[in-house]
């Protein structure tokens, strides 16, 4: 089995916002111009059967960066599993392997030891991964991840409340900052203005408007916030939401530039 060329996550010392949740039916973004508006994208191995359509319809071969997620959380929600061997084989030898700039380790929700072992096995087989530390897991695994990997993903989708997620993030940053972290599933502007993540992903840019009327872009000159548009009109506004996300990405790059460029390679573990 050929080894995948490793790409250091420090290749770009800027904040990256990954747009997640892209589906082959999102016609408003067909043939996206990544030259004029470079959009980073997160795609899930859980839907790898649709990758041919995704890459062709959204010009993903021209995207500046693609993060491949294992899809473990998606599959976990329906009580399924993801094969580690199949995932590794796809990353190393799949038709789009060369386009993945970051690969997330196969995590096992509720089993920190198994998640760590999967990350180790993927590295052993030549896949440079971003391991995931979940809400509720022992801090010793966060220490292991930070000592062995340059960047660690933080997963808090399983937290019971927003307050619990906030307390947990505070604890992680207090414990291991200035290590590099990725925020999985949460990328609101207040969150990203508060914590110096190196990257984050969210589906809200594509679901928040059409489903809930929550738009990050400016609708008809009104302040961003709740909009009343729905259906086809809402779909047509999605590109505006993407542009708004790209603008936020640039603002955060500027805000956290000093923080990101001056991080030390080793985390400063607190004694708490």
What are 69-78's pLDDT values in tens digits? Answer: 998 777 655 5
CA dist 199 and 222 (Å) reads 29
Per-domain residue ranges for the chain?
9-261
Residue 260 has pLDDT above 50, yes or no: yes
- What integer pLDDT is reported at residue 219 of this predicted model? 56
> Residue 80's CB: how many other CB atoms inside 10 A?
11
- What integer pLDDT is reported at residue 76 of this predicted model? 58
9-261 placed in CATH 3.20.20.70: yes
- What integer pLDDT is reported at residue 59 of this predicted model? 97
CA dist 31 and 43 (Å) reads 17
- Give the pair of three-digit tokens for residue 189: 């502007």
Q: DSSP readout, 18-32? A: EEE---TT-GGGTT-
Which residues, in sequence order, are CB contacts of 56 under 8 Å at separation 6+? none
Backbone phi and psi for residue 234, each to the nearest 5 degrees, phi listed first = -65, -40
- What integer pLDDT is reported at residue 25 of this predicted model? 87
What are 97-132's pLDDT values in tens digits? Answer: 999 999 999 999 889 999 999 999 999 999 999 999
- What integer pLDDT is reported at residue 13 of this predicted model? 67
| % of the chain with per-residue pLDDT over 90 | 63
What are 176-216's pLDDT values in tens digits? Answer: 999 999 999 999 999 999 999 999 998 887 766 555 566 66
Backbone phi and psi for residue 19, each to the nearest 5 degrees, phi listed first = -85, 115
CA dist 218 and 227 (Å) reads 9
CA dist 181 and 88 (Å) reads 23
- What integer pLDDT is reported at residue 222 of this predicted model? 44
Which has the closest alpha carbon to 50: 33, 74, 77?
74
CA dist 41 and 67 (Å) reads 6
What is the pLDDT averaged over residues 77-89? 82
First to last CA, the chain: 43
- What integer pLDDT is reported at residue 204 of this predicted model? 81
């Amino acid at each position: 089995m050929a080894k995948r060329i490793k790409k250091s996550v420090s290749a770009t010392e800027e904040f990256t916002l990954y747009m997640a949740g892209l589906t082959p039916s999102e016609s408003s973004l067909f043939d996206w111009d990544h030259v004029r508006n470079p959009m980073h994208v997160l795609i899930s191995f859980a839907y790898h059967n649709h990758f041919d359509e995704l890459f062709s319809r959204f010009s993903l071969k021209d995207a500046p960066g693609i993060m491949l997620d294992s899809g473990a959380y998606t599959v976990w929600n329906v009580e399924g599993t993801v094969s580690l061997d199949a995932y590794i084989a796809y990353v190393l030898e799949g038709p789009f392997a060369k386009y993945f700039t970051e690969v997330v380790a196969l995590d096992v929700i509720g089993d920190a030891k198994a998640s760590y072992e999967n990350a180790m096995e993927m590295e052993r087989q030549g896949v440079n991964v971003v391991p995931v530390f979940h809400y509720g897991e022992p801090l010793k695994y966060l220490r292991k991840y930070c000592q062995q990997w340059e960047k660690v993903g933080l997963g808090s989708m399983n937290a019971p409340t927003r307050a619990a997620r906030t307390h947990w993030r505070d604890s992680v940053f207090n414990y291991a900052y200035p290590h590099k972290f990725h925020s999985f599933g949460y990328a609101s502007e207040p969150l990203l203005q508060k914590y110096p993540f190196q990257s984050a992903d969210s589906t809200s840019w594509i679901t928040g408007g059409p489903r809930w009327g929550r738009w990050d872009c400016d609708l008809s000159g009104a302040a961003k916030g709740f909009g009343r548009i729905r259906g086809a009109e809402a779909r047509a506004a999605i590109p505006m939401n993407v542009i708004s996300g790209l603008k936020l990405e640039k603002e955060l790059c500027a805000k956290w530039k000093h923080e990101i460029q001056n991080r030390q390679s080793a985390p400063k573990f607190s004694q708490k």
